Structure 1
Amino acid sequence: MTNRITKLFNIQYPIIQAGMIWNSGWRLASASSNAGILGLIGAGSMYPDVLREHIQKCKKATDKPFGVNVPMLYPNVEEIMDIIVEEGVEIVFTSAGNPKTWTKWLQDRGITVVHVVSSVKFALKAQDAGVDAVVAEGFEAGGHNGRDETTTLTLIPMVKEQIHIPLIAAGGIACGKAMLATIILGADAVQVGSRFVASNESSAHQSFKDVVVNSKEGDTQLTLKELAPVRLIKNKFFNDIQELYKSSPTPEQLRELLGRARAKRGMFEGDLEDGELEIGQIAGLINDIKPVAEIVQDMVTEFEDAKKMVASL
């Protein structure tokens, strides 16, 4: 399975484990890289010194390539970038910001840069900024999302028509058949998040993993568009948001309800009532918790079987 992405990252399979907040620590990233895909540490939930510790532990746990995902909206992003360079990380995925801010700075220091987008417009901006590849993430994805609500199967071919750099599909992908579908539509690889939340190595709280496994169709919804659109599992906190919407709240009132550390309380500490539980629509098809290596092998096997099935049609 050699293509532009496997060559770019020096990995066996064209699969990237998403760098998710409160889920993607060094254990998940190193297990993913050891399984032949690209593991990512999610820096968004880490103070700089914690990120350094995770990078160092990941380097000890794998001799394969891994990277760090950096949401650029965080106030200590400069310190985070310095740590990434100091620790010799060779791959960075940026998101939630202007790719021009850091792309050249990172590339000048020998780092491969990928930017996450949710639209054709932002894919073109990322390409113009000089990134090495883009992740196009559809409306189905968990966590923070695009405002346009473009689905993955619509977004990927639209982006593919407009860019020439490698394209990674994300949003609603958790199995080999979905991987094949997006590659047929023009993607060079897939980024997978929710499926890896329900893994043994994920740093998510066991209670959150159990909720993901038990989720059904319609159990997630995009909300808080006035702040930053985010897909959440419907729980008490989600219902509180919907109740507040009945009074046509201001963004300030929504921020007050959101407060601080909601995502940590929900996903990392296991507060299933008042915590923020971020997961993708594909949770309805995730039925078990298993080791990363097994998840990867299942995806690859199903991908190869699906190719044979399509060829026989």
Structure 2
Amino acid sequence: MNTLVELLGIDLPIIQGGMGNISNAKLSSSISNAGGLGTIGVGTLTPDDVEKMINEIQGLTNKPFAVNLPIKVTPFIHEMVELILKYKVPIVSLSAGNPAPFISKLHEHGVKVMVVIGAVNQAVKAEQAGADVIIAEGYEAAGINSPFETTTLTLIPQVVDAVKVPVIAAGGIADGRGLLAALALGAQGVQMGTRFVATQEAPFSKEYKNKIINANDHNTLIIGRSHGQIRRVLEGDYASNLLKNEGEYSNQEFAESTSEKHHLLGAIEGDDKKGFMNSGQIAGLISNEPTISELFEEIMQDCRKKLKNVVNQINL
């Protein structure tokens, strides 16, 4: 029995990652309705914006969904927690900061808490603070990333060995093979973000989707290392210039140049000359734009088929 699926009240062990300011109820509700766990991210959005999005997703699905709170990113963390409680959001993921001050209050109101980590010691501390689920994110992942540069393949089994709560694998997963690999490493589910961008329900720019679909294995960049603000993005004029010239920026200037304003210009407007588009390395494996239901059916069928192939090879 998959305890993660049981704990979260979902049908499939597939979770959507928070997408910051480009989060939307249409995509997230489609993921929940198809049996996964849709997630809306608050990014730097205002409480009013997030309240509207929660209302919208509750009108589109009666299935569980989550809200991602990036603790150090949102300037409204306490207001966001109050919104979670007000609207009885069933699941929260906490990232980009210390989750400990928030877990008890969320638990008091019956909220399940998932914590995103990038290192084993972070996972242990999150479990000690009361996390119900650990989301272990490898360096292959899109967007804001861990400075430790630990890959998913090495991170997941170490985290699984270190904690007792269910673990979700994130970073570099887009198909049934990735799900099977994560389960083999001891995770009980996967979190995906880039794969969901290239789906029919995702209301992102055609340019963004096409860049992912046409990407190869080395079409993502890491920007921000010299500023301690690491982010994985697709190659493009704006992103490439940032990488080339980031040493000339102050930390504040670089933070402004990689703000959600420029994320929206790239992802929503499709303008890679004035903005950037987040993407994980798995983009090189994505070649189509299915519906969410089609994607989930393909992932589960492929996972089961590959499992049989593995068993047959073991039994040689």
Q: Normalising TM by the smaller chain, what interval? A: over 0.9
- Spell out, residue by residue over 1:42-76, the C-alpha distance to the aligned partner (whole angstroms, 9 max, x if none): 22153211211111121121111111111111111
Structure 1 window deviating more from structure 2 (209-218 vs 163-172): it is 209-218
Aligned pair in 2 of structure 1 residues 255, 93: CA closer, same or farther (>3 Å)? closer
Runs of 4+ in 1 over 6 A off after TM superposition: none
Q: Secondary structure at the match of 2:39?
A: strand
Aligned pair in 2 of structure 1 residues 45, 26: CA closer, same or farther (>3 Å)? farther
The within-5 A match list for 1:178-193 is 178-193=178-193
Given that 2:135 and 2:170 are in contact with CA atoms closer than 8 Å, whether structure 1 keeps it comes out as yes
2:94 counterpart residue number: 94
The within-5 A match list for 1:110-189 is 110-189=110-189
Q: How many residues align?
A: 311
C-alpha separation in 1, matches of 2:4 and 2:247: 46
2:29 counterpart residue number: 30
Aligned pair in 2 of structure 1 residues 53, 154: CA closer, same or farther (>3 Å)? same
2:233 counterpart residue number: 232
1:43 counterpart residue number: 42
Q: Secondary structure at the match of 2:43?
A: helix
- TM (normalized to structure 1)? 0.95
- TM (normalized to structure 2)? 0.94
Aligned residue type for 1:24: S
2:15 counterpart residue number: 16
Aligned pair in 2 of structure 1 residues 288, 45: CA closer, same or farther (>3 Å)? farther
C-alpha separation in 1, matches of 2:45 and 2:297: 29
Aligned residue type for 1:6: V
Aligned pair in 2 of structure 1 residues 257, 12: CA closer, same or farther (>3 Å)? closer
Structure 1 window deviating more from structure 2 (85-94 vs 40-49): it is 40-49
Given that 2:21 and 2:42 are in contact with CA atoms closer than 8 Å, whether structure 1 keeps it comes out as no
| Residue 253 of structure 1: how far off its partner (Å) | 4.4
| Residue 310 of structure 1: how far off its partner (Å) | 1.0
Q: Secondary structure at the match of 1:44?
A: coil
Given that 2:22 and 2:264 are in contact with CA atoms closer than 8 Å, whether structure 1 keeps it comes out as no
Structure 1 window deviating more from structure 2 (226-235 vs 4-13): it is 226-235
Q: Secondary structure at the match of 1:79?
A: helix
1:52 counterpart residue number: 51
C-alpha separation in 2, matches of 1:139 and 1:245: 20
C-alpha separation in 1, matches of 2:125 and 2:17: 22
2:301 counterpart residue number: 301
Structure 1 window deviating more from structure 2 (168-177 vs 303-312): it is 303-312
Aligned residue type for 2:2: N
Structure 1 window deviating more from structure 2 (256-265 vs 134-143): it is 256-265
Is there any run of 5+ residues in structure 1 with no aligned partner, and where?
none
Aligned residue type for 2:288: D
C-alpha separation in 1, matches of 2:28 and 2:283: 20
Given that 1:22 and 1:268 are in contact with CA atoms closer than 8 Å, whether structure 2 keeps it comes out as no
| Residue 239 of structure 1: how far off its partner (Å) | 2.0
C-alpha separation in 1, matches of 2:260 and 2:194: 23
1:243 counterpart residue number: 244
C-alpha separation in 2, matches of 1:37 and 1:224: 32
| Residue 234 of structure 1: how far off its partner (Å) | 1.5
- Spell out, residue by residue over 1:185-207, the C-alpha distance to the aligned partner (whole angstroms, 9 max, x if none): 11011111110011112232222
Q: Secondary structure at the match of 2:113?
A: strand
Aligned pair in 2 of structure 1 residues 204, 46: CA closer, same or farther (>3 Å)? farther
Aligned residue type for 1:155: L
C-alpha separation in 2, matches of 1:114 and 1:21: 17
Aligned CA-pair RMSD: 1.5
Given that 2:224 and 2:246 are in contact with CA atoms closer than 8 Å, whether structure 1 keeps it comes out as no
Kindly, what percent of the aligned residue pairs are identical? 36
Aligned residue type for 2:17: A
Given that 1:14 and 1:37 are in contact with CA atoms closer than 8 Å, whether structure 2 keeps it comes out as yes
Q: Secondary structure at the match of 2:20?
A: coil
Aligned residue type for 1:79: E
C-alpha separation in 2, matches of 1:258 and 1:14: 32
Given that 1:22 and 1:267 are in contact with CA atoms closer than 8 Å, whether structure 2 keeps it comes out as no
